[in-house]
Amino acid sequence: MFLCLGNVLNEIWIKTEDAGNFDAWNTPNIYDYCTKLSDYELFYSEFQEFKFSIKACSNVFIHLSSSANFESPNFYEIAIGSNNGKNSNLRRKFGTGDSYAKITPGITSCIDFKEFTLTWSGDGLIQMKDSSDNSVIDWTDISPFNITGLGIRTGWGITGTWKIEFKGQYTGHFCGKTNLYGNMTLLRTTTAINSVFCSTLCSTSGTCFGFNFNKNIQECQLIAGGQVMTTYHRSDWKLYSKCLIGRSVCMGCLS
């Protein structure tokens, strides 16, 4: 999985690989195959709302868990574009079948991002709507769980790229990783005698995610946001990324 800041203060991009042919129908520990958003300092339980866009051909999954670390049998699994992209479903716990199912042809796309808003409440109401305010999921659990954890995944041969709405504020801090290079689209390349000069350039740009810096050749490469982050080991380079909440949510150091 790779991630990157999109519009620096508004969204985070995450790529989920194919997690395999598993779902709550056949896998009791299905939550072990999820990407937990709390691992990346992203928390949504307080707001009871999750806004996202997803580009995937089918088989997109969201997990709402009663445990922040996901180690609980009490969870809801929401499937978007199951059955080769034809249906959407909600399942309550392992092996209980569909609590809610709806035929939703064209709900996912291999080419375009599809936007959704998922909400839940303490009285058990779970709803999800698309960008046109059409209902995708609308179901009430008469014995609801208290949702404290949220995870995402794609499966059954499918990878997905997510754009997750996140409100953060860049406060001037960067996180750096030695011998790591961000192999992404660059805004510009310039000469810099130190990383401080490079961080100043990036700080003043709302479209700058971070920068690569090589002190031996005094080269600074400003990295654009709005893309999935890909990195690899490269001696003499150091990858710096912006932090959004104080020194938290520093994408380059969380990956």
- H-type alpha helices, 173-238: 195-203
Is the pLDDT at 14 greater than 50? The verdict is yes
Q: What is the pLDDT of residue 226?
A: 78
Residue predicted with more confidence, 219 or 25: 219
Is the pLDDT at 42 greater than 50? The verdict is yes
Is the pLDDT at 145 greater than 80? The verdict is yes
Q: 97 by DSSP, 3-state: which?
A: coil
Q: Are 76 and 64 in contact (CB under 8 A)?
A: yes
Residues in the chain: 255
Digit-coded pLDDT (tens) for 26-39: 888 888 899 988 87
Please report where in the chains the tokens 């179901």 appear, as a residue.
139
Is the pLDDT at 81 greater than 60? The verdict is yes
Q: What is the pLDDT of residue 74?
A: 92
Q: Phi and psi (nearest 5°) for 200? A: -65, -45
Mean pLDDT across 201-229:
91
**Helix, strand, coil tally for the chain in percent (to 5):** 10, 50, 40
Tokens representing 61 are 């999954």
DSSP state of 18: B
Q: How confident is the model at residue 157 (pLDDT cuts 50, 70, 90)?
A: very high
Q: 39 by DSSP, 3-state: which?
A: helix
Q: Phi and psi (nearest 5°) for 78? A: -110, 125
Tokens representing 97 are 């079948």
Give me the percent of the chain exceeding a pLDDT of 70.
91
Q: How confident is the model at residue 7 (pLDDT cuts 50, 70, 90)?
A: very low
Q: What is the pLDDT of residue 170?
A: 76
pTM of the model: 0.78
Digit-coded pLDDT (tens) for 165-209: 876 667 788 989 999 999 999 999 999 999 999 999 999 888 888
Q: Are 254 and 39 in contact (CB under 8 A)?
A: yes
Half-sphere exposure (Cβ direction) of 163: Cα atoms closer than 13 Å: 16
Q: What is the pLDDT of residue 195?
A: 95
Cα–Cα nearest to 102, from 53, 58, 135: 135
Cα–Cα nearest to 221, from 251, 186, 174, 255: 186
Domains and CATH numbers, the chain: 18-158 (2.60.120), 174-254 (3.50.4.10)
Q: Are 137 and 100 in contact (CB under 8 A)?
A: yes
